A and B are shown apart, each in its own frame.
Chain A
Amino acid sequence: MRLLLKNGRVIDPVSGRDETLDLLIEKGKIVECKPQIKTTDARVMDVSRKVVLPGLIDMHVHLREPGQEYKETIQSGGTAAARGGFTAVACMPNTKPVNDRRDVTEFIRTEARRHSPVHVFPIAAITLNLEGENLTDMAELKKAGAVAFSDDGHSVVDSQVMRRAMEYARMNDLLLIDHCEDPNLTASGVMHEGAVSYAIGLRGIPSAGEEVIVARDITLAGHFNARLHIAHLSTAGSADMVRAAKKQGIAITAEVTPHHVLLSDNHLRGYDTNYKMSPPLRGESDIKALIKAVQDGTIDVFVTDHAPHSPDDKEMEFDYAPFGIIGLESAVPLLLDRFVHSGLISLQRFAEMLSSNPARILGLEGKGRIEPGADADLTVLNLSKKHTIDVSAFASKGRNCPFNGWTVLGQPEITIVGGRVVYEAV
Chain B
Amino acid sequence: MAFQHTHLLGIEDLTREDILTVLETADSFLEVSSREVKKVPVLRGKTIVNLFMEPSTRTRSSFELASKRLSADIINFSKQTSAVVKGESLRDTIENLESMQTDAIIIRHEASGSPHYIASFCRSHVINAGDGTHEHPTQALLDAFTIRQKKKRLEGLKVVIVGDCVNSRVAKSNILCLTRLGARVTLAGPPAFVPEQLKSLGADIEYNLDKALESADVVMMLRIQMERMQKNCFPSLREYAQLFSLTPQRMNRAKKRAILMHPGPINKGIELTSEMASSDRSVILKQVENGVAVRMAILYLLLGGKEREITA
Report if B132 contacts A (CB, 8 A): yes
Report if B134 contacts A (CB, 8 A): yes
Compute how far the CA of A200 lies from the CA of B201 in the bound complex, rounded to whole angstroms.
Answer: 10
Report if A187 contacts B (CB, 8 A): yes
Contacts of A270 in B (CB 8 A): 116
Q: Are A317 and B109 in contact (CB under 8 A)?
A: yes
With beta carbons under 8 angstroms apart, the residue of B89, B131, B132 that contacts A315 is B89
Q: Are A271 and B112 in contact (CB under 8 A)?
A: yes
Give B173-192 interface residues, CB cut-off 8 Å to A. none
Q: Are B133 and A318 in contact (CB under 8 A)?
A: no
Q: Are A201 and B134 in contact (CB under 8 A)?
A: yes
Q: Are A318 and B230 in contact (CB under 8 A)?
A: no
Q: Are B195 and A198 in contact (CB under 8 A)?
A: yes
Compute how far the CA of A194 lies from the CA of B114 in the bound complex, rounded to whole angstroms.
Answer: 20
Report if A45 contacts B (CB, 8 A): no
Give the interface residue-count category, chain B.
Answer: 20 to 34
Name the residue among B89, B117, B133 with the largest chain A CB count within 10 angstroms: B117
Contact pattern, A 199-217, Cβ under 8 Å of B = 1, otherwise 0: 1111100000000000000
Q: Are A199 and B109 in contact (CB under 8 A)?
A: no
Report if A320 contacts B (CB, 8 A): yes
Contacts of B169 in A (CB 8 A): 201
CB B240 to nearest CB in A, in angstroms, measures 21
Contacts of B110 in A (CB 8 A): 319
Inter-chain CB contacts under 8 Å: number: 60
Given known A-B contacts A201-B135, A271-B117, A316 and B230 have beta carbons under 8 A apart = no
With beta carbons under 8 angstroms apart, the residue of B90, B91, B131, B201 that contacts A199 is B201
CB B230 to nearest CB in A, in angstroms, measures 7
Give B1-48 interface residues, CB cut-off 8 Å to A. 12
Given known A-B contacts A319-B112, A320-B111, A201 and B89 have beta carbons under 8 A apart = no
Compute how far the CA of A373 lies from the CA of B19 in the bound complex, rounded to whole angstroms.
Answer: 73
With beta carbons under 8 angstroms apart, the residue of A199, A316, A319, A320 that contacts B200 is A199
Compute how far the CA of A92 lies from the CA of B135 in the bound complex, rounded to whole angstroms.
Answer: 38
Contact pattern, B 178-222, Cβ under 8 Å of A = 1, otherwise 0: 000000000000000001011011000000000000000000000
List residues of A whose CB falls within 8 A of some B CB.
187, 194-195, 198-203, 270-271, 312, 315-320
Beyond A198-B201, A317-B90, A317-B114, 12 extra complex contacts between A and B, CB < 8 Å: A195-B200, A198-B166, A198-B200, A200-B134, A201-B132, A201-B135, A201-B169, A201-B172, A202-B113, A202-B132, A319-B112, A320-B111
Question: Could you write out 14 A-B pairs with CB less than 8 Å apart?
Answer: A187-B230, A198-B195, A199-B12, A199-B200, A199-B201, A200-B112, A201-B132, A202-B113, A202-B132, A202-B133, A271-B112, A271-B116, A271-B117, A319-B112
